[in-house]
Structure 1
Amino acid sequence: MACHEIAALRIGMMNVLGIKDESVIEHEKNEIGQEALSNPGPIRSLTTANNFEDLIRFFEASLTDLEQKIASLKPSDPQSGYYTSLLILTKKVELDLKNSANSFKTLYLDLEEMHDLVHEIYPS
């Protein structure tokens, strides 16, 4: 069992944050597996994301795929509990990711407001 969504998100976040740690990237790619990394889709796309918008979009798409996979499982499937827990985890991560993106947008807007205030106090 592998948490492809989380591993791919970690690689994408490393791109966005500028973290260059080849050992972590290799670890996460091993978690995902060559098949998922080779095939077009949200998991592969998530590993190449380089901004918050792409992270959110591809992560949401990966969750749609996960939900479809869960819907196809029989209730008696031994992996059912694992995938249900994974869905709960990924939903929480999705909310945190969106909140983080909104926080950075707010910071960006606040910087302009503070910059304007400094010029009001000290006109050039």
Structure 2
Amino acid sequence: MDSPVDQLRFLLDEHYPEWLAVALREHGIDAVAVVSREDLRSQDDSAVLRAAASEGRIVVTEDLTTFAPAIATVPEHAGVVFCHHSRFPRTRVGISALGRALAQFDETLPAELQGTPFVWWLANEQ
């Protein structure tokens, strides 16, 4: 993605597998998974969001009920992308679709949101 700010950087919450982060990186997207980060595994959502903020990473999660309060405690974050499990089930097919949707999101994030804290609901891939 060419933009006035650096490329988007994602932190995939703990319910997403490392292979999704690897697949995104293979397509030129900076992504890491919480499951591959010993310092973040089993941490509460505020700690995950603080770590993501310190690294300039956008958190990708389906945990609306726990991440919404975390957003209130960490207002200066890089962004949070919510994904609904009915649209992106935790199956190989569903997670692969999530990867394609994140790649599209990486290419189409509105310029006015880049570099500012935002919350986004990710739709199905187009």
TM-score normalised to structure 1 length = 0.31
Identify, as 1 or 2, the structure richer in helix.
Answer: 1
Higher strand share: 2
Larger Rg: 1
